[in-house]
Structure 1
């Protein structure tokens, strides 16, 4: 007797096909995605794998330089980076888990981000550096897409809408950034897990699992990029405080929004306390980093006026850039249409997540990164989680 293909089975098969297609496209480039920060994470991971600092630094340099088109350029790239690490070693950067790619104060930022290097360790141990880093990127990208799909399904979206969300996650900058050999992919996957946890809690189904996902997702994100996790937790706490107040004023039970406010707010406070106790770089350090070219010039006595001026300059230039390349503006307009047409708590959740990305970018108003999407990447959760709702007629839960 032929087994009937149900909608759920068909949806699962389609989700697998989407993921297989994504992996197929990623096979075209196993390397070539690194940024100037990648070598910091890779040297950290290699140190955790048991390599000496010198060996970890050399391997991270080789990974960075391997994509140069011809051999002389590769040698020149290796020579420059090796000379740079020797220079910073002579100038006091003689210890730590990361390679001495810059001064110790700047490298302390990456020393405080063990999450992604820890993720890389088993991949590197089994598959080697190049393939291991690529597979780690694929893993976190696919995990994030599955969390998005599950979030939409939990929010009442049909399979077509949920698959649309998965496809948007993988094809918009979230997918490309998730594949970078940096902490952002892990942070994105954790954010998607938090979105699922919040959804499960808000709709009253499997609240224990929802609480576990929110807590686990934010804590792992904290280990990956603590500043982004802190901002995300704060933005979510503010959103759920507003939702709880809204419900109470309309004589509706404020829980579970109130529970999520307490959870996210408590985690934000715990994160802030932890960073203070451990002495990790703070917002003040971020401002000095921007104004002193990675601490290579003397500290600015009062950085905030100049930092605020940099904010105004950055956002003006950022707006001009978006008008010239309006993909984000177009998707945000579609997200707004979807949210206004079908206002649900998922829109609030997506907006709060996007706010976390905007706040992260506001903490780093660097014109050199104007064309990049990495620091503000969480803003893409707004279209990813709301545009698919245009494809479903099922009522959302408020």
Structure 2
């Protein structure tokens, strides 16, 4: 009889836990939606301020091809989109810089000049240059449906924005999975959207989709390291697969860094010596090999072609014979020049390095995985040491801020868990934690 009474008395406690978890999920959902809505409004205000670049033109052309346009129609449609924004930019300059009241005339003139200049498409337009963009089909594929409904420019912008918001939701999921509170997780989302990750992610480029796939992969890696084998494997595989379609070069760098990080944890972090971490190393290594094989079969350009693109001014000049030695020399000049030319670069670098060290000391496994994702930006700049592109190329280093700072202020350290028994696989993907 006592056992029956005990069982009945425990029911309200379990119900209370379920209610608490439901309330916590409601709070974090409301908070996340509020932050996302605020970010969307801010981006919408400056919607027309973002003049598409040559890269955006290439993705627009691909999007129109996916929607069924032939080559000539796709080129013309992408040029029209580009020139409409160029005309808008000319009108703004006439109004704001020179106080002109004839913004309509400035727009018409700028638009007409742009159409005439690029009547055959934006340059460069060599097959080798275009191949760099056709090896990134993920963003145009995602943008095709919104572009068909809302128009080309709006479709490209909405796709990048939604991918950035999805990435911010993955920041929340990862911080919660690491044991952070609701407030800390929402703080991480806000940091992600306020940092350069939010700015570049919402441009009409591949940064937003690429950040989303990187964070999806990172979430799978963390679950694997915590012993969540099934959900971790599925999430990691989804991250690598989508990352390959969005920008396979970044996906390969992440795969190599996660492999090295997992092997390092197995060697030097006793709490990480479990089957999940070993599987993470094996799957990440396999992802690199498979992506290299797939890219070769698809005849996508590799690192050598990317270096030639850099040193031949997008294949306008003849190929160089020694791209690797040229890259090393350019890197030496760049890393000596860039920190001096950018007043805040040294301060930002010092802050991020300090944050990395503190995070590694706080939670070695989590710190190693986040560092691997952030280091994609350093590798990207080292492979393309161009001062004009550095801010965009190194954008992933700001993941250390969004994922690291909230973890440092998350209260007690969340220890790395040993491999879980099968019944634990039925638990929720993450706990909302304390409010």
Q: Which moved more, 1:337-346 or 1:134-143?
A: 337-346
Deviation of residue 331 (structure 1)? 4.6
| Other structure's SS at 2:118 match | helix
- Which structure ranks higher in relative contact order (CA pairs < 8 Å, sequence separation ≥ 6)? 2
d(CA) in 2 for partners of 1:340, 1:263: 23
Question: Gaps spanning 5+ residues in structure 1: where?
Answer: 86-99
Q: 1:37 aligns with which of 55, 71, 89?
A: 55
Deviation of residue 337 (structure 1)? 6.0
User: Are the counterparts in 1 of residues 356 and 371 from structure 2 also a CA contact under 8 Å?
Assistant: no
Deviation of residue 354 (structure 1)? 1.5
User: Are the counterparts in 2 of residues 157 and 394 from structure 1 also a CA contact under 8 Å?
Assistant: no
d(CA) in 2 for partners of 1:272, 1:133: 28
User: Are the counterparts in 2 of residues 178 and 188 from structure 1 also a CA contact under 8 Å?
Assistant: yes
d(CA) in 1 for partners of 2:267, 2:311: 40
Distance 1:341 1:257, change over 3 A: closer
Aligned to 2:255: 233
d(CA) in 2 for partners of 1:124, 1:40: 15
User: Are the counterparts in 2 of residues 239 and 349 from structure 1 also a CA contact under 8 Å?
Assistant: yes
Q: 1:380 aligns with which of 389, 398, 405?
A: 398
How many pairs align?
377
User: Are the counterparts in 1 of residues 216 and 239 from structure 2 also a CA contact under 8 Å?
Assistant: yes
Does 1:64 pair with 2:82?
A: yes
Does 1:274 pair with 2:294?
A: yes
d(CA) in 2 for partners of 1:52, 1:287: 31
Q: 1:184 aligns with which of 204, 207, 211?
A: 207
Deviations 1:37-82 (A, max 9, x none): 1100110011100112222112211222223322211221222122
d(CA) in 1 for partners of 2:406, 2:151: 38
Aligned to 2:150: 127
Distance 1:153 1:83, change over 3 A: same
Deviations 1:264-306 (A, max 9, x none): 0100011112222222111111121111111111111222222
Q: 2:176 aligns with which of 148, 153, 157?
A: 153
d(CA) in 2 for partners of 1:141, 1:214: 19
d(CA) in 2 for partners of 1:102, 1:276: 23
d(CA) in 2 for partners of 1:297, 1:252: 50
Aligned to 1:203: 226
Does 1:350 pair with 2:370?
A: yes
RMSD: 2.1
5 Å-filtered alignment, 1:18-29, equals: 18-29=35-46
Aligned to 1:88: none
Deviation of residue 338 (structure 1)? 4.0
Distance 1:334 1:9, change over 3 A: farther
Deviation of residue 313 (structure 1)? 1.3
Question: Gaps spanning 5+ residues in structure 2: where?
Answer: 1-18, 92-105, 417-435
Q: 1:245 aligns with which of 267, 272, 276?
A: 267
User: Are the counterparts in 1 of residues 261 and 369 from structure 2 also a CA contact under 8 Å?
Assistant: yes
| Other structure's SS at 1:66 match | helix
Aligned to 1:166: 189
Aligned to 1:314: 334
| Other structure's SS at 2:54 match | coil
Deviation of residue 167 (structure 1)? 0.6
- TM-score norm. by structure 2 comes to 0.82
d(CA) in 2 for partners of 1:15, 1:301: 52
Does 1:254 pair with 2:270?
A: no
Deviation of residue 151 (structure 1)? 0.3
| Other structure's SS at 1:294 match | coil
5 Å-filtered alignment, 1:359-398, equals: 359-370=379-390, 373-398=391-416
5 Å-filtered alignment, 1:44-123, equals: 44-67=62-85, 68=89, 69=91, 70-71=106-107, 72-83=109-120, 101-123=124-146
- Structure with more helix by fraction: 2
- TM-score norm. by structure 1 comes to 0.89
Distance 1:329 1:22, change over 3 A: same
Does 1:221 pair with 2:239?
A: no
Distance 1:324 1:287, change over 3 A: same
Q: Which moved more, 1:171-180 or 1:26-35?
A: 26-35
